Amino acid sequence: MVKGRIFSGMQPSGNFHLGNYLGALSNWVKLQHEYECFFCIVDWHALTSSFEDPSRLPDYIHNMALDWLSAGLDPEKNRIFIQSHVKEHAELHLLLSMMTPLSWLERVPTYKDKLQQLGEQGKDINTYGFLGYPVLMTADIILYKADTVPVGEDQLPHLELAREMVRRFNFIYKQEVFPEPKGYIGAAPVVPGIDGRKMSKSYGNEIPFAASPEELRARVRLMVTDPQRIKRTDPGRPEICPVFTFHKLYSPAELGEIETDCRNAGIGCVDCKKRLAEHMVEALADIHHRRQDWAARPNDVKDILENGAKRARETAQATMEQVRSVMHMG
Ligand code: AQP
């Protein structure tokens, strides 16, 4: 028996990284056996911060589909599709925008942070579309009446807003049209980048998901460690070390030993990173092989996305009929 319905999406806005994989995609792969799932490449979301040059979008979309399929998402079981192929996302976004108080959007913590962060990089995204990002995200989720949304911790404020919007919609139109979606956070709520901050495309601190073994080793070698561990003989603090965060995910059998050796200075950071890199290379090898197989079948990938959109549209259209009816839209 299925536990419920999942919707989750990712922006095709650059190279997919291990933060996206460990924070979200790896949970999708696990949950696909328990839930009915809708997984969406949210290209309209990507436009909110890169509307000026969308020329690389088709490439990013194709690569994202390869990443998802090679990680193990089953295209038969799940609806895997592109947001802009299901126009109902835009219609629901528009209708929701009529009833969204501006103040709700302006207080979303990620809004001001990202405006400032991208502003510092010379990007002006002081736009209507960017402010409305969480409204579009709400539309994405509730269009499928999803009750569960597996995401990284950074998305929780957006999800809280989605819950508020559902309550507002159901209250205004006096019908329980939408369920309140709840977040699902897995074992890696915030994956650190090689500089210790949250792994993020815009910080340039990412480890690419499709990195070759050499690239992986090189990125791990650059990772920051406990700043108080200056000499090889200094004891380390695994709880604040990003390398140890990755060991928790990739070296479960040796975790106790690595923790003790770090605290006693029994192992140096260079060797600790080498051990981690080898575990990561091993864990990602199968995925990388599958990625090469999928990359050789671009037409199959295209068919999967088209078929996914067709199946998603059936659910989306049924929801929109109900929404139009309660809003007296004919
Ligand atoms: N570092 C992370 N740790 C845990 N989860 C993460 N996610 C992203 N980074 C981390 C999760 O990945 C999913 C996809 O998110 P997205 O498409 O919104 O990508 P993003 O947040 O735009 O990814 P970036 O790299 O952080 O991009 P920029 O720098 O452009 O903002 C989400 O579930 C997210 O939580």
Distance CA 316, CA 309 (A): 10
37 within 8 A of 31, measured Cβ to Cβ: yes
Q: What is the CATH number of domain 5-190+298-326?
A: 3.40.50.620
- CA–centroid distance, 255 to ligand 1, in Å, is 26
Residue 100 CB-density burial (10 A; 0-12 exposed, 13-18 middle, 19+ buried): buried
- pLDDT at position 125 is 86
DSSP structure class, residue 174: T
Confidence label for 122 from pLDDT (cuts 50, 70 and 90) = confident
What ranges do the domains of the chain cover? 5-190+298-326, 211-286
- CA distances to 14, 17, 60, 190, 279 from 55, rounded to whole Å, are 12, 21, 10, 30, 36
- CA nearest to 97, candidates 128, 127, 124, 125: 128
- pLDDT tens-place string over residues 149-190: 999 999 999 999 999 999 999 999 999 999 999 999 999 999
| C-beta 200 within 6 A of ligand 1 | yes
- pLDDT tens-place string over residues 58-107: 999 999 999 999 999 999 999 999 999 999 999 999 999 999 999 999 99
- CA–centroid distance, 152 to ligand 1, in Å, is 7
Distance CA 155, CA 169 (A): 21
Report the residue among 6, 20, 47, 245 best suited for mutation to probe ligand 1: largest number of ligand atoms under 8 A from its CB. Answer: 20
- pLDDT at position 49 is 87
CATH architecture of the domain formed by 211-286: Orthogonal Bundle (1.10)
The structure tokens listed for 154 are 């950074």
Ligand 1 atom at shortest distance from the alpha carbon of 20: 12
* Predicted TM-score (pTM) of this structure: 0.95
On the question of pLDDT at 121 being above 90, the answer is no
Ligand 1, atom 25, lies closest to the CA of 200
Residue 259 CB-density burial (10 A; 0-12 exposed, 13-18 middle, 19+ buried): middle
